[in-house]
Structure 1
Amino acid sequence: MSGALLDPTVAVDAHAGERLASEPVIWLGTVAPDGRPHTVPVWFAFDDPIVTIFSRPDTAKIGHLRANGAVSIALDTAGQGADVVTGGGDAVLSELARVEDALDAFGRKYAPMLGDQPLDAWLMTFSQPIVVTLDRLVAWRSTANGLEYRSLPSRE
């Protein structure tokens, strides 16, 4: 596993990390065979720099990932467009047995949304794990002191 991208001692990084841990939906962008982007909202678990997603195995995004693992991610903007987290990296299709820690975190995060449905029943439909290793994150937000901006890794 690669090292973390976010530095929790930096305010904008800590804020981005909190959003990545708590937001219910992230937008996943894949590349179709004709080169066109394909973006879909997905549930996810975040463990810097890893994003784990569970999908139905018969979706377009899975077909795209079989041919090209390049992906983008983006959270919905908050703060009327002044609170942004985007990124990119490479995705691989995995197996449930290889993502047990992420599955536990995912189950805790989405238990309120699943209601009475057990996670095991939900996984019968969304059985294909996708593991994204982020190699880039960009975050910015407006504060009373001005714009906080980070592009990671730093290009110093």
Structure 2
Amino acid sequence: MAQKMTDDQWRAFVSHGTRTGKLSTVRADGSPHIAPIWFLIDGDDLVFNTGKDTVKGRNLARDGRVALCVDDDKPPFAFVVLQGRAEISEDIDEVRRWATRLGARYMGEERADEFGKRNGVPGELLVRVRIDKVLAYASVSD
């Protein structure tokens, strides 16, 4: 039987290794748009970068509602869904700082600066989502 994760458990789960998130944003017609992202948890916030002119960047500028799903696709399976509202910043220093931190998580410390420079440029956004709701379950198939 599925077991609800504690706050510490879901935070450890989503922060483990290089698990990506599947981010859902709201299109202008109300339909969902889903894209994989690199992300970090910063306190009670979800943080990621995206391009200002991407579908998700445009969606977030218009409607900040988001949901992010992180899952383990191996038995006994687990998942976490985070929901909240996004705030967008174009502060290039912040964009670069977080792009570097994201690069460190997903590509390793030795390539962090490379990804910070590549993704911390004008036209990129820093997205910070205050997490309002968490659904988190482990051992789904048990």
TM-score by length of 2: 0.77
**1:110 matched to 2:106:** yes
CA contact (8 A) 2:81 2:136 kept: yes
Q: Residue type matched to 1:128 in 2?
A: L
Quick one: percent identity of the two aligned structures?
Answer: 22
Name the stretch that deviates more: 10-19 or 84-93: 10-19
Which structure has more RCO (C-alpha within 8 Å, separation ≥ 6)? 2
* Match for residue 74 of structure 1 among 65, 69, 75: 69
**1:123 matched to 2:83:** no
Report the counterpart of residue 63 of structure 1 in structure 2.
58
Q: Distance in 2 between matches of 1:74 and 1:91?
A: 15
Pair 1:40–1:46, CA change in 2 (3 A)? same
TM-score by length of 1: 0.71
Deviation of 1:92 (Å): 1.4
CA contact (8 A) 1:57 1:128 kept: yes
Deviation of 1:90 (Å): 0.2
Pair 1:125–1:53, CA change in 2 (3 A)? same
Q: How many residues align?
A: 136
Deviation of 1:100 (Å): 7.1
| Ranges in structure 2 where 5+ consecutive residues have no aligned partner | none
Pair 1:34–1:114, CA change in 2 (3 A)? farther
